[in-house]
Amino acid sequence: MCGVFGAFSASGNPVLEEVYLGLYALQHRGQESAGVAWIDGENQIRTIKGQGLVHLALNQAELSGIPASSAIGHVRYSTAGGSGLSNVQPLAANYCRGPVAIAHNGNISNASGVRRYLENRGAIFQSTTDTEVILHLMAHQPHKTELDALVDSLRKLKGAFSLAVALKDRLVAARDPWGFRPLALGKRDDVYYISSESCALDLVGAEMIRELDPGEILVIDTDGLHSLRIPVEPRRRYLCSFEFVYFARPDSLIAGQSVYQVRKELGRRLARRSPCSGNCATGMPDSGTIAAMGYAEESGLAYEKAIVRNRYSGRTFIEPTQRVRELGVRKKLNPIRELIKGQSLAVVDDSIVRGTTSRKMVELLRNYGASEIHMRISSPPVRFPCYYGIDTPTREELAAARSNEEALCAEIGADSLAYLTETDLVEAIGLPACEVCTACFSGSYMEDGEKYEELDI
């Protein structure tokens, strides 16, 4: 998964520190690398990129001293292309019409075919990311203005893309016609911001104006905002439901819905559909916490934060050696023995992917003396890989793809296991079913299950 952020000051104020802060607020969307890009006074692209968390990859003090009034940024967790430095975004190029830099959230599902097409016309690719095809599509239309080349490039793409694009004197935001990934527009004083999530607008003190429409291309320059459309008419929308279940921050608004409130509603519906006989409800931190609160509220169980999360973990914890691993170290999560012993627990999590974490936690809770353990999952079973930007494992590795509920319950060792239904999920989100992507639960892909289709450029 990834996050993009952009800022444009019409009156020429420096914005790179705000892009840094925006990326910091979007850190949960990608911890593998971070980068920023802008076009300097001599019309040259400048990029600063690094591996790891934002504060390690980038230097706030350095950025705050750079006089760029328009800039974009990106946090990355690799989904397409490997994790090498050449794949760290924003990607940038000087082509014959000038400089361009792109930050991309999503996954272009026909990128592979487009790349082959372009390479046979002389293109040399520098990265293995899907994003780079946009730069080469633009470069192969040298007779068009940069903006026309960009629009005509985006119409050749399928799949998910929310983009922040830096051109000379302009910042461009774009969202694919299917509306997979969110993208919001904010403003504070003379500065416009674009952000994958509204929480990052809060961080920089901006008001959210609105979210971009699917298929919208929004151009920001010193004259203000100009809106274009990608000339593709999709049959329906595919807003990612997993953003609500797990990915987005609870203080973000997506499609007008509060992620926190959706998540709590998921817990309430789960309690109605799958009650249990426990003494108290607790959540797997942090992703199951809010649904657990909804579950407790609806079911009348006591709510306890019975599992503590080391708040310094994250991507910072490498696997211990075999010898130490066998000791059963509690890397990230540690239950509180006094709250577990002799209790019957409802343990709420947002999803089960490989099943490993659930199995280990159940074992640990039993060791700590839990009498019963009821696993409650605030989404349907994840049975299908995502081709639109979320890093899911292959189908063989997905626990729910290889086992039914009963078998999986036995596998993880719980006393009971229950999921939410797809209908409950869509209703909790509050949008028509034809606007929400549930492909990872249902297998109903935009392209009807085909990952790559014929190239039509």
The answer to the question of residue 407 lying near its own copies (CB under 8 A) is: no
CB closer to its own copies, 235 vs 311: 311
Q: Which is nearer to its own copies, 260 or 452 (CB)?
A: 260
Taking the C-alpha atoms of residue 442 and residue 422, their distance in angstroms, rounded to an integer, is 8
5 binds its own copies per the rule CB under 8 A = no
Q: Which of 145, 210, 231, 329 binds its own copies (CB under 8 A)?
A: 329
| Rounded Cα–Cα distance for residues 200 and 194 (Å) | 9
Stretch that binds its own copies, among 257-265, 402-410, 412-420, 425-433 (CB under 8 A): 257-265
| 127 labelled binding-site residue | no
H helix intervals, 196-320: 198-203, 242, 259-273, 289-299
Site for its own copies in 148-177 (CB under 8 A): none
Query: Which amino acid, one-letter code, is at 326?
Result: E
CA angle, 253 then 258 then 264, to 5°: 145
189 annotated to bind ligand: no
* Of residues 135 and 160, the one with the C-beta less far from its own copies: 135
Annotation marks residue 199 as catalytic: no
According to CB under 8 A, which residues from 184 to 213 bind its own copies?
A: 188, 199, 202-205
CA distance 6 to 382: 33
Binding to its own copies by residue 235, rule CB under 8 A? no
DSSP-assigned letters across all residues of 177-205: TT--S--EEEEETTEEEEESSHHHHHHTT
- Cα 83 from Cα 107, distance rounded (Å): 15
Residue 71 · residue 165 · CB < 8 Å: no
How many Cβ atoms are within 10 Å of 156's Cβ, its own excluded? 19
User: Of 103-111, 246-254, 377-385, 438-446, which segment contacts its own copies by CB under 8 A?
Assistant: 246-254
Q: CB count, 10 Å around CB of 26? A: 29
Beta carbon nearer to its own copies, 130 or 176? 130
Contact status: 298 vs its own copies (CB under 8 A): no
Q: Residue 434, annotated ligand binder?
A: no
Q: Position of tokens 């809060």?
A: 202
Name which position in 41, 311, 406, 454 contacts its own copies (CB under 8 A).
311
| Active-site residue set | 2
Q: Binding site for Mg(2+): what residues are annotated?
A: 287, 349-350
Q: Binding site: what residues are annotated?
A: 240, 287, 349-350, 386, 437, 440
